[in-house]
């Protein structure tokens, strides 16, 4: 009996000794399970967050979120923006100590553009000469060439003002040919996945966590403060919050909805909420005759009080949106109504609605389609109530499971008004505008305006003030046409432990672990 | 006859058999012991043949069920709108074609079924659509043991709570009503409410246990998930056991034992409980199935890399191979569990054998 009691006591003691033993491991929430750690195949945001720790592209974001050369030491652009020459860093090393060479980049780009690789975001590299043909399975010469071990040349078909930004994406990160030929799709396992980033993959338990440890061969290894990082799969934001509050996480991926007020009170010093480079909007299916009337579209847009939406419906630090692209500089285009009072907007909405010949006694029935989620449903109900109150319009809410929704939305046959939203892939207005050009598979609105397309093309090909002007012109045309209803700009929101220093809000929510460190006091 | 005349006169045939074995064994009317002796009776050869026939039949029906499930799953996945590669950003057509070819979606339906069966017999369940770095068998091999372990622990826990409580309640005047009330209360608390409440209490307020996460070498991560899984099963078992105990206490062996002046506790534990447990065995099947299919919520809340989550996420992601793999694995586990329970009943209860 005595022995049993002792055994039980020991077991209990083992049980209660908290898991916080490895205190110097950074524990960060990372959202859903990464879909892949193959840079060319990964698609999800959670995978990309890990990949930015494991690999470094020719270009990258620095600690302040500015685009800087990464694996490249410098880049020279000539021939009117058609030829890029990258000089790779002499000290660029993979985690196994081998050199990062220009040939690795040639191989990686070729791999990304091979249809057999089935890289979902291969289109990001389409500006490269020959890339479009390669993606179609034709054997065209590709405009990527290793001049010598440390010099890489990339030629484009046409100048692209956002090309360097695209080279910071995972699709353009270097992989080793040997590892892929030896292990196939299994090359991403711990021990096999060899990158040139600040960290190297040590352990991977699918659906639970990934553990990374410092890459001793990383070119900037001396500045990396944290030795090991654990990315936890946190699918449920409420659970993630509890883990943070229990001291198991130093950094959360997001915040659960509707808790901001409480968190502001309880975790004021740990809360980091900032505008994100992302917009939530409602799109009109312009191919649907029901929405032909520009006055109706404008009236629907004006009838929605965005301040109420962000304050009472979403309530997680979002900003009301009167433009597609989140405000960066003064002078960016906005809807004319941005400066009006809610009352003025409502009056104008009614005026437009009646002026367009709609009869308040025979209310219009509009369908609002969104992908199934509680947040979208709440938002849909609020919008429907506003349309009802201001214009007397009846709204039918339709929800569809995500995979069905994206298909319906793209087909554009039965849709009327639908949920749209965009998280920029990289920090460039072009990334917001291109989805509205003719022939773009993301153009669910069915917007077709040759002058808009021409302005976008001009912005893509030019630089400086000319580019700025073209971007503004294009966005203004899109807003003036009332092709969509911008509702709000998303926020990036995190809880950051007081033990963790070096965390800055980033509009794209990129937070490489190498820029984080444990504060002196907690060490 | 050692049993009381009143008992032997009122009960049905199997219970008379009890009485006879009681006599053969001596004065202790223990139903378990008696049944085990019957198992060793001279007609054991027939029993073994019956058993083999039974097993063979079971194997065939299980394989047929698995095949039927495969066809239904694949057909449903093809029938629902939205495919595995329907993303917001549509990949170029050639990339889509390459993906379809990699997962053999460009083949006719029955060729896909045939290929799947052929590969599955080699233990290859194909690459996952959503997690392309992993094969389905790797994902399931990692996830299934976790779900099974937590499920088994939950069953053990709920049994070890339900049995003493049911026995204690059986000797109380309003025991059955109390048991019903307790199980009703336990059932009324759904897992998605219970689990966060447990986290709030044990992880945030008391700080005794981790709020979430799972590691084989950290048993403290098991505690809250097992508790959340066990409570509803405890409710089901408590109720079933209480009712069976009540019936068992009214059966001749228990009445006989009571008539002999054995203590109430002894009558309940030695005479009524074994009988009630054999009857409750039938409940373990549904309980285990509920644990497997209901584990998704608990796995989500606690961030446990188990099988239940795949059943939900793979369906939403249209991850054909992972979903089919997970469904077939769960079906196989259910079939095995049912088989084991059948065998146990067969060994314990002579009525099943005949």
Q: Mark which of A174, A209, A225 sits at the end of a domain.
A: A174
Together in a domain, A70 and A37: no
Q: Do A239 and B143 touch (CB under 8 A)?
A: no
| 3-state SS, residue A51 | helix
Residue A304 half-sphere exposure, CB side, CA atoms within 13 Å?
Answer: 25
Of A19, A116, A185, the CB nearest to B127: A185
CATH number of the CATH domain containing A359:
3.10.105.10
Q: What is the C-alpha to C-alpha distance for residues B316 and B296, in angstroms, rounded to an integer? A: 13
- Burial class of residue A450 in the structure, from the number of CB atoms within 10 Å of its CB (0-12 exposed, 13-18 middle, 19+ buried): exposed
Q: Do B102 and A403 touch (CB under 8 A)?
A: no
A137 contact residues in B (CB cutoff 8 A):
94
Q: Mark which of A116, A141, A174 sits at the end of a domain.
A: A174
Q: What is the C-alpha to C-alpha distance for residues A21 and A16, in angstroms, rounded to an integer? A: 12
Q: Which helix (H) or strand (E) holds A367?
A: strand A365-371
Consecutive sets of 10 residues in chain A, 523 residues long: mean pLDDT of each? 49 44 79 93 93 96 90 91 94 93 96 90 92 90 94 94 94 94 91 94 93 94 94 91 92 91 91 93 93 92 94 90 82 87 93 86 90 91 95 92 89 92 91 92 92 95 90 94 94 94 91 92 55
Instruction: Tell me, yes or no, whether A13 lies in a domain.
Output: no
A205 close contact with B: CB closer than 8 A:
yes
A410 contact residues in B (CB cutoff 8 A):
90
Distance of CA A346 to the CA centre of its chain: 34
Q: Do A232 and B199 touch (CB under 8 A)?
A: no
- Burial class of residue A478 in the structure, from the number of CB atoms within 10 Å of its CB (0-12 exposed, 13-18 middle, 19+ buried): buried
Instruction: Tell me, yes or no, whether A4 lies in a domain.
Output: no
Q: Do B91 and A120 touch (CB under 8 A)?
A: yes
Q: Do B305 and A206 touch (CB under 8 A)?
A: yes
Q: Do A248 and B213 touch (CB under 8 A)?
A: yes
Q: Which helix (H) or strand (E) holds A517?
A: strand A517-518
Interface A-B, measured as beta-carbon pairs within 8 A, has a size of 163
B134 contact residues in A (CB cutoff 8 A):
206
Q: Do B316 and A401 touch (CB under 8 A)?
A: yes
What residues pair up with A27 in beta bridges, in sequence order? Answer: A230
Q: Give the ipTM.
A: 0.82
Q: Do B305 and A207 touch (CB under 8 A)?
A: yes
Q: Do A118 and B211 touch (CB under 8 A)?
A: no
Instruction: Tell me, yes or no, whether A508 lies in a domain.
Output: yes
For residue B186, give the nearest of B238, B155, B154, B232 by alpha carbon: B232
Of A37, A209, A238, the CB nearest to B196: A238
Measure A489 CA to nearest chain B CA, in Å: 19
Structural domain of residue A403, as residue ranges? 275-491
| CB contact set of B91 (below 8 Å; sequence gap of 6+) | A118, A119, A120, A121, A122, A123, B85, B99
Q: Do A116 and B92 touch (CB under 8 A)?
A: no
Q: What is the C-alpha to C-alpha distance for residues B244 and B279, in angstroms, rounded to an integer? A: 7
Together in a domain, A467 and A500: no
Determine the residue of chain B that is closest to A403 in CA distance. B82
Q: What is the pLDDT of residue A449?
A: 93
Q: What is the pLDDT of residue A13?
A: 47
Q: Do B301 and A236 touch (CB under 8 A)?
A: yes
Distance of CA B267 to the CA centre of its chain: 29
Q: Do B87 and A120 touch (CB under 8 A)?
A: yes
CATH number of the CATH domain containing A523:
3.40.190.10
B139 contact residues in A (CB cutoff 8 A):
206
Mutant choice from A403, A407, A442, A444 vs B, greatest count of B C-beta within 10 A = A403
Q: Do A136 and B208 touch (CB under 8 A)?
A: no
Q: What is the C-alpha to C-alpha distance for residues B257 and B275, in angstroms, rounded to an integer? A: 14
Mutant choice from B213, B313, B321 vs A, greatest count of A C-beta within 10 A = B213
Measure B91 CA to nearest chain A CA, in Å: 5
Measure B134 CA to nearest chain A CA, in Å: 7
Together in a domain, A111 and A44: no
Structural domains of chain B, with CATH: 136-353 (1.10.3720.10)
Q: Each residue's pLDDT tens digit in chain B (354 positions)?
A: 333 333 333 333 333 333 333 333 333 334 444 344 444 444 556 777 878 888 888 889 889 999 999 999 999 988 888 888 887 777 778 888 888 888 888 888 899 899 899 998 898 998 898 898 999 999 999 999 999 999 889 989 998 998 888 888 887 778 778 888 888 887 788 778 888 888 888 888 888 888 888 888 888 888 899 999 988 888 888 888 888 888 888 888 888 888 888 888 888 888 888 888 887 887 788 888 888 877 888 888 888 888 888 888 898 888 889 999 999 998 998 888 888 888 888 777 777 666
Instruction: Tell me, yes or no, whether A443 lies in a domain.
Output: yes
Together in a domain, A337 and A481: yes
Q: What is the pLDDT of residue B107?
A: 87
Neighbours of B274 (CB within 10 A): 18
A131 contact residues in B (CB cutoff 8 A):
none
Measure A346 CA to nearest chain B CA, in Å: 33
How many domains are there within chain A?
3
Instruction: Tell me, yes or no, whether A219 lies in a domain.
Output: yes
pTM of the model: 0.85
Q: What is the C-alpha to C-alpha distance for residues A503 and A249, in angstroms, rounded to an integer? A: 14
For residue A429, give the nearest of A485, A470, A477, A489 by alpha carbon: A470
Residue A19 near residue B224 (C-beta atoms within 8 A): no
Q: Do A248 and B208 touch (CB under 8 A)?
A: no
Together in a domain, A115 and A214: no
Together in a domain, A302 and A342: yes
Q: Do B211 and A119 touch (CB under 8 A)?
A: no
Q: What is the pLDDT of residue B24?
A: 37
Q: Do B131 and A119 touch (CB under 8 A)?
A: no
A136 contact residues in B (CB cutoff 8 A):
92, 94
Q: What is the pLDDT of residue B44?
A: 54
CATH number of the CATH domain containing A106:
3.90.76.10
Q: Which helix (H) or strand (E) holds B33?
A: helix B31-39
Instruction: Tell me, yes or no, whether A513 lies in a domain.
Output: yes
Q: What is the pLDDT of residue B45?
A: 64
| 3-state SS, residue B197 | helix
Token digits of residue A370: 């969104």
B133 contact residues in A (CB cutoff 8 A):
36-38, 185-186, 188-189
Give the phi and the psi of residue A284 in degrees, each rounded to 5. Answer: -100, 140
Determine the residue of chain A that is closest to B91 in CA distance. A120
Residue A323 near residue A480 (C-beta atoms within 8 A): no
Determine the residue of chain A that is closest to B221 in CA distance. A15
Token digits of residue B252: 């001749």
Measure A188 CA to nearest chain B CA, in Å: 7
Together in a domain, A471 and A408: yes
A137 close contact with B: CB closer than 8 A:
yes
Token digits of residue A254: 């997001």
What residues pair up with A282 in beta bridges, in sequence order? Answer: A419, A485
Q: Do B95 and A407 touch (CB under 8 A)?
A: no
Q: Mark which of A131, A157, A174 sits at the end of a domain.
A: A174
Together in a domain, A262 and A361: no
Q: Do B95 and A403 touch (CB under 8 A)?
A: no
Together in a domain, A181 and A60: no
Of B94, B97, B133, the CB nearest to A38: B133
Taking phi first (over 0 means left), then psi (-120 to 50 degrees means alpha), and beta for anything else, what does residue B214 get? beta
Instruction: Tell me, yes or no, whether A15 lies in a domain.
Output: no
B211 contact residues in A (CB cutoff 8 A):
239, 242-243, 245-246, 248
Together in a domain, A483 and A501: no
For residue B99, give the nearest of A186, A115, A181, A138 by alpha carbon: A115
Together in a domain, A446 and A336: yes
Token digits of residue A203: 């352990």
Together in a domain, A451 and A432: yes
Q: What is the pLDDT of residue A393?
A: 92
Strands A417-423, A365-371: pairing kind: parallel
Taking phi first (over 0 means left), then psi (-120 to 50 degrees means alpha), and beta for anything else, what does residue A317 get? left
Mutant choice from A169, A207, A259, A398 vs B, greatest count of B C-beta within 10 A = A207
Looking up tokens 């020959």 gives A130
Angle, CA of A189, A191 and A196, to the nearest 5°: 90
């Amino acid at each position: 009996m005595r022995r049993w009691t002792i055994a039980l006591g020991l077991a209990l003691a083992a049980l209660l000794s908290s898991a916080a033993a490895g205190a110097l491991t950074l524990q960060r929430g990372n959202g859903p399970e990464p879909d892949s750690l193959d840079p060319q195949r990964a698609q999800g945001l959670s995978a990309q967050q890990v990949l930015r720790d494991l690999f470094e592209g020719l270009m990258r974001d620095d600690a302040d979120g500015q685009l800087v050369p990464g694996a490249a030491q410098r880049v020279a652009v000539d021939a009117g923006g058609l030829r890029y020459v990258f000089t790779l860093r002499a000290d660029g090393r993979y985690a196994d100590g081998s050199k990062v060479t220009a040939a690795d980049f040639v191989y990686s780009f070729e791999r990304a553009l091979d249809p057999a690789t089935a890289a979902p975001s291969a289109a990001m590299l389409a500006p490269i000469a020959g890339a479009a043909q390669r993606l179609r399975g034709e054997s065209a010469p590709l405009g990527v060439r290793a001049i010598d071990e440390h010099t890489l040349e990339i030629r484009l078909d046409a100048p692209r003002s956002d090309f360097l930004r695209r080279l910071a994406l995972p699709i353009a990160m270097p992989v080793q040919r040997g590892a892929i030929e030896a292990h196939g799709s299994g090359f991403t396992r711990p021990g096999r996945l060899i990158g040139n980033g600040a960290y190297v993959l040590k352990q991977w338990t699918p659906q639970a966590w990934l553990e990374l440890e410092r890459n001793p061969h990383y070119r900037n290894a001396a500045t990396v403060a944290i030795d090991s990082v654990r990315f936890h799969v946190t699918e449920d934001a409420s659970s993630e919050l509890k883990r943070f509050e229990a001291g198991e996480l130093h950094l959360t991926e997001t915040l659960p909805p509707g808790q901001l007020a409480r968190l502001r009170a309880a975790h004021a010093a740990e809360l980091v909420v900032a505008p994100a480079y992302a917009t939530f909007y409602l799109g009109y299916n312009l191919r649907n005759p029901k929405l032909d009337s520009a006055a109706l579209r404008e009236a629907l847009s004006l009838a929605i009080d965005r301040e109420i939406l962000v304050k009472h419906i979403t309530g997680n630090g979002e900003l009301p949106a009167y433009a597609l692209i989140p405000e960066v500089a003064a002078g960016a285009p906005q809807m004319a109504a941005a400066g009006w009072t809610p009352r003025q907007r409502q009056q104008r909405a009614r005026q437009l609605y009646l002026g367009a010949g709609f009869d308040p006694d025979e209310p219009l029935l509009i369908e609002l389609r969104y992908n199934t989620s509680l947040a979208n449903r709440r938002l849909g109900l609020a919008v429907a109530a506003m349309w009802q109150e201001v214009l007397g319009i009846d709204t039918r809410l339709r929800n569809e499971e995500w995979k069905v929704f994206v298909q319906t939305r793209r087909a554009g046959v039965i849709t009327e008004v639908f949920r749209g939203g965009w998280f920029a892939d990289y920090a460039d207005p072009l990334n917001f505008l291109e989805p509205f050009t003719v022939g773009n598979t993301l153009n669910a609105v069915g917007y077709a305006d040759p002058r808009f397309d021409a302005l976008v093309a001009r912005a893509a090909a030019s630089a400086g003030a000319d580019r700025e002007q073209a971007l503004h012109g294009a966005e203004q045309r899109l807003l003036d046409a009332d092709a969509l209803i911008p509702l709000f700009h998303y926020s990036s929101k995190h809880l950051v432990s007081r033990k963790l220093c070096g965390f800055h809000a980033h509009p794209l929510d990129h937070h490489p672990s190498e820029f984080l460190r444990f504060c002196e006091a907690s060490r | 006859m050692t049993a009381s005349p009143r008992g032997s006169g009122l009960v049905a045939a199997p219970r008379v058999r009890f009485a006879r074995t009681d006599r053969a064994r001596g004065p202790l009317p223990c139903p378990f012991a008696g049944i085990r002796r019957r198992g060793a009776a001279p007609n054991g050869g027939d029993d073994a043949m019956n058993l083999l026939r039974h097993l063979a039949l079971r194997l065939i029906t299980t394989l047929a069920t698995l095949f039927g499930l495969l066809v239904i799953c694949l057909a449903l996945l093809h029938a629902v709108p939205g495919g595995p590669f329907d993303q917001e950003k549509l990949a170029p057509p050639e990339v889509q074609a390459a993906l379809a070819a990699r997962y053999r979606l460009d083949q006719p339906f029955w060729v896909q079924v045939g290929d799947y069966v052929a590969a599955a017999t080699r233990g290859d369940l194909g690459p996952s659509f959503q997690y392309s770095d992993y094969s389905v068998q790797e994902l399931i091999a990692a996830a299934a043991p976790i779900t099974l372990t937590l499920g088994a622990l939950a069953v053990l826990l709920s049994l070890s709570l339900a049995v003493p409580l049911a026995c204690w309640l059986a000797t109380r005047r309003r025991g059955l009503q109390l048991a019903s009330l307790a199980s009703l209360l336990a059932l009324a608390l759904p897992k998605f409410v219970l689990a966060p409440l447990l986290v709030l209490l044990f992880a945030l307020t008391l700080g005794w246990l981790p709020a979430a996460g799972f590691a084989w070498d950290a048993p403290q991560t098991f505690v809250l998930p097992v508790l959340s899984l066990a409570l509803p099963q405890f409710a089901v078992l408590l109720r079933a056991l209480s009712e069976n105990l009540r019936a068992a206490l009214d059966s001749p062996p228990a009445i006989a034992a009571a008539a002999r002046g054995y203590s109430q506790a002894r009558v309940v534990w030695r005479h009524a409980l074994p009988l009630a447990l054999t009857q409750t065995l039938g409940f373990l099947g549904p309980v285990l199935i509920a644990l497997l299919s209901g584990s998704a919520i608990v796995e989500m809340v606690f961030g446990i890399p188990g099988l239940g989550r795949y059943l939900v996420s793979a369906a939403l992601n249209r991850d054909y191979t992972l979903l089919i793999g997970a469904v077939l694995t769960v079906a196989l586990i259910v079939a095995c569990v049912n088989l084991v329970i059948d065998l146990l009943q067969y060994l314990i209860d002579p009525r099943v054998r005949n």
